[in-house]
Amino acid sequence: MDRSSLLLLLFITTTISIFFFDLTTADESPMIFPLSYSSLPPRPRVEDFRRRRLHQSQLPNAHMKLYDDLLSNGYYTTRLWIGTPPQEFALIVDTGSTVTYVPCSTCKQCGKHQDPKFQPELSTSYQALKCNPDCNCDDEGKLCVYERRYAEMSSSSGVLSEDLISFGNESQLSPQRAVFGCENEETGDLFSQRADGIMGLGRGKLSVVDQLVDKGVIEDVFSLCYGGMEVGGGAMVLGKISPPPGMVFSHSDPFRSPYYNIDLKQMHVAGKSLKLNPKVFNGKHGTVLDSGTTYAYFPKEAFIAIKDAVIKEIPSLKRIHGPDPNYDDVCFSGAGRDVAEIHNFFPEIAMEFGNGQKLILSPENYLFRHTKVRGAYCLGIFPDRDSTTLLGGIVVRNTLVTYDRENDKLGFLKTNCSDLWRRLAAPESPAPTSPISQNKSSNISPSPATSESPTSHLPGSLALYVSMFLVAVAVSSR
C-alpha cells in the first residue's frame, strides 16, 4: 500500500543480535512464513510505486518465508496456496490492507503476474459467498463483492469467495477455510506488479489474521522480520512468540486508527535530541507502521529537523544530486560501497516512545543506495503532505516486529532477519499435497466490502546467529 493510499484509507546493521525465543504456554502454536523482497525502479517515491524460543503447543503451526522484491518493485511477498488441489500464489504482505485477493480465471482485466490465475472451477472446495445482509452484493443480488480503490488510481474488485488456504508441507497447520477476494478486475499498479495479489494483515474481519484468530488456530499476535540492505528475505510468524530479551515496545491504540500505530514522542540523532514538540508526531492517526510502504514520511517540521541533524554529523561526505532529477532527494557520496561500513560515516537515529524506550535506527534503516553513483546513499526519509507520520519497511530492516494485538502494543528487536527463516526451517516450504476435502460451509460472515481509498518441529530454544541466506533476488542496485 502506498502512502497516498494509506492516508485515504485512513493510514545490515553492523551488529547482529544473537537471541533466543523462549517457550511460551499458549494453546496455539505460531505459524512461520518466509518473506521475499521485490525492489523498486530508480524513482524512490511511494507516490509513483506501490512500496508497497518459539512455543511448541498441542495445536499445529505453519512457517513461511518472506521473499524480497524491494529494490525492483518495492514490497515483500510470501507464498500461499489456495484450493483443492492447491494453487500457488505470491502475495504482497500488507499490514495496511484488510482483504486478501488474487486474480481469478474469470478476470476480465488482470495483468500478467508471477503465477497463473486462480481457477475456481478446478477447486473442489471453492465457494463464492452468496449475497447476505453483511456484505455488499453484486447488481444481480446473488454474490458478495468487494472493491478496493487506492489513491494512485489502482484498484481491485471481484467476488468474495471461500476456499482452503494452505501454508506448505513444512507447516504443521492443516489447510483452513478462509474468505478471500477472487479478482475480476484490477487497474494501475495492481495490474502491472509482478506479485499475484495482496495478503491483508490489517485490522478487519476479513484479514487473514482475524480469520485464523476467530477459528482459534492462533493467538491474536503476528510478527514480521525484513532483511537488510544487502541480503533480503526474512520471515513472518502468525501466532504468539515470547518476547526475546532486548525487545522494546510501544503502545498501539486500535481505537484511534484502524492501522498499526506507535506512540512516538521524540527523535534523537547521534545521541542528541531534536528540538521538536511531541505533538508533531501526533497527527490524526499518530505514527503509523505500514509494511506496504517502502520509505519513511514525516511532517515537514520533523523531516527538516532530522535531515539537518544528519547532515551536521557527516561533514566529510559530499552532497550530490539524486538519481532522478524530478525529485529533490538528499544524497551523499564518499561513504564507500561496503554497506557494513556506512555506520562509520552516518549517525544512528533513535525513536523514543511514550514509555521512554527507544528503537535504534542504524544507517540502513534510513538510507537507500543511489542507483547511478556507486558508493553513494540517499535519505529514505521524506516530508509528508500532512500531519501523518508513516513508517515503511526501510525503518524495520533487520528488525523483528511483533504486532501484539492482544495487548495493544508493538515490539521491536534488531536481529538478522535474512537468517531467521533458515534458522526456523532449513528446507524451503514445498507446495502442499492435496488436502482432504472439507465441508464448504463456514461460520465466517464477511464484513461489508467498503470502498478503500487508501512439518518441521521447532526446538525448545532457537538461537539466531549470523549466516548468509540465499534469496530469490540479489539486492545490489541500491
Looking at per-residue pLDDT, the higher value among 117 and 48 belongs to 117
Sign of CA dihedral 59, 62, 63, 66: negative
pLDDT of residue 340: 85
pLDDT of residue 165: 96
Please determine, for residue 282, whether its predicted confidence score (pLDDT) is greater than 60. yes
pLDDT of residue 65: 65
pLDDT of residue 367: 96
Which residues are CB-neighbours of 156 under 8 A, at least 6 positions away?
A: 101, 146, 147, 148, 181, 183, 185, 186, 190, 197, 198
Looking at per-residue pLDDT, the higher value among 172 and 220 belongs to 220
Looking at per-residue pLDDT, the higher value among 338 and 307 belongs to 307
Decide: helix, strand or coil at residue 104: strand
pLDDT of residue 151: 58
Please determine, for residue 186, whether its predicted confidence score (pLDDT) is greater than 70. yes
pLDDT of residue 6: 41
- pLDDT tens for each residue of 98-149: 999 999 999 999 999 999 999 999 999 999 999 999 999 999 999 999 999 8
Query: With pLDDT > 70 as the criterion, what percentage of the chain qualifies?
Result: 72
Looking at per-residue pLDDT, the higher value among 473 and 140 belongs to 140
Query: Residue 17 half-sphere exposure, CB side, CA atoms within 13 Å?
Result: 18
pLDDT of residue 152: 66
Query: pLDDT class for 464, splitting at 50, 70, 90?
Result: very low
Q: Where does residue 476 rank: exposed (0-12), middle (13-18), buried (19+ CB within 10 A)?
A: exposed
Please determine, for residue 258, whether its predicted confidence score (pLDDT) is greater than 80. yes
Catalytic residues: 94, 290
- pLDDT tens for each residue of 349-377: 999 999 999 999 999 999 999 999 999 99
Q: Around Cβ 141, how many Cβ atoms within 10 Å? A: 8
In the chain, what are the domains? 20-242+416-463 (2.40.70.10), 248-396 (2.40.70.10)
User: What does the buried/exposed string (b/e) look like for 125-139 if buried means 16 or more CB atoms within 10 Å of the residue's CB?
Assistant: bbbbbebeeebbbee
What is the rounded average pLDDT of the residues 3-29?
Answer: 38
Q: What is the pTM of this model?
A: 0.80
Query: pLDDT class for 81, splitting at 50, 70, 90?
Result: very high
pLDDT of residue 29: 64
Give the β-pairing of 389-391 and 287-289.
parallel
Write the DSSP symbol of residue 67.
Answer: E
Query: pLDDT class for 291, splitting at 50, 70, 90?
Result: confident
What is the rounded average pLDDT of the residues 74-79?
Answer: 83
pLDDT of residue 44: 35
Which region among 92-96, 118-122, 166-170, 247-251 has the lowest average model confidence (pLDDT)? 166-170
Q: To the nearest whole number, what is the mean pLDDT of the chain? A: 79
pLDDT of residue 415: 92
Cis amide linkage into residue 459, ω under 30° from 0: no
